[in-house]
Amino acid sequence: MDALISLISIFVLMLLGYSVGSFVEKVHYASVKKRENQFLDLPAITFRKLPQDKEVIDAQLVMGSVVISLDYFKRFLAGLRHIVGGRIKSYETLLDRARREAILRMKEEARKLGADVILNVRFETAGIKKVKRKQKVGCFEVLAYGTAIKFAK
């Protein structure tokens, strides 16, 4: 009987982790999409060179950083996938959210500077480890950086 109660408890906790994690992810994606629409006029591109017909009056380094933690359900799925191998799809949405959020934070900084475009955008991604003294990924940090360019009007 105790084993059945333990299994039911684990199942309920997994279901709760999935539900809460899905809700938080959905709310965050909605927020990201709304803010991305506000920054459509500020392109962030990977080009290294500027158009020749534009005069640059200011150029500054801008960056945006975000740390996003794993929820328990995604950590559980990743553990299962680690056993059998293959792509860890549960991490893909997490990294997508982190990259998009980092770009938005970089664009917020560029907008404060009055930039017209962000050139040479790059990403640095790091897994933050040592959860309970084990080498497991607990969260991800994504840093987006580029050169904010302000053109003469």
Q: Which domains can be identified in the chain, with CATH numbers? A: 2-151 (3.30.110.70)
Q: In the prediction, which pLDDT does 136 show?
A: 63
Of residues 86, 70, 85, 90, the one with CA closest to residue 136: 70
> CA-CA distance, 50 to 86, in Å (whole number)?
41
- Residue 94 identity (one-letter amino acid): L
CA dihedral 16, 21, 27, 33 (to 10 degrees): -160
Over 90: is that where the pLDDT of 103 sits?
Answer: yes
pTM here? Answer: 0.82
In Å, what is the CA distance from 55 to each residue of 25, 58, 68, 91, 111? Answer: 42, 9, 38, 42, 19
Percent with pLDDT over 90 in the chain: 46
What's the average model confidence in pLDDT over 72-90?
75
Per-residue confidence (pLDDT) for residue 137, from 0 to 100: 61
Q: pLDDT band at residue 104, thresholds of 50, 70 and 90?
A: very high
Compare 65 and 2 and report the one with higher pLDDT: 65
